[in-house]
Every structure is written in C-alpha cells, then in structure tokens.
Amino acid sequence: MDTQGKEIVQVLLKFLIPMLQCRFIFKSISVVSRVGILLQEW
C-alpha cells in the first residue's frame, strides 16, 4: 500500500473510532435508562 492509502486509512480510523465509541455510549445509556424505568415500575 502506498503512503497516500495509509494516510486515508488513518484518517478514516480517526473518524470511525470516536463514532463507534459514541454509538456504544448511547446504547449503554439507553439500556441503563430502560432498566431504571423497569425498576421504578416494580
């Protein structure tokens, strides 16, 4: 792979990793809030 291709991959990773982390955080927040609602209904 040439240097330009490597740079493109690095830029993609820089953007993808935070996006994946944000998605994971939002999923865990929604799960926690659902569990909290269920516990309150008990």
Question: What's the whole-number mean pLDDT along residues 13-17?
Answer: 94
**Entry pTM:** 0.54
d(CA 40, CA 11): 44
Measured over the CA atoms of residue 31, residue 36, residue 41 and residue 42, the dihedral's sign is positive
d(CA 39, CA 42): 5
- Residue 42: how many other CB atoms lie within 10 Å: 4
- Express each pLDDT in 20-33 by its tens digit: 999 999 999 999 99
Q: With cut-offs at 50, 70 and 90, classify the pLDDT of residue 35.
A: very high
Q: With cut-offs at 50, 70 and 90, classify the pLDDT of residue 1.
A: low
Query: For the chain, which residues make up each domain, given as ranges?
Result: 18-42
Question: What's the whole-number mean pLDDT along residues 3-24?
Answer: 93
pLDDT recorded at residue 2? 80
Tokens of 41: 């209904």
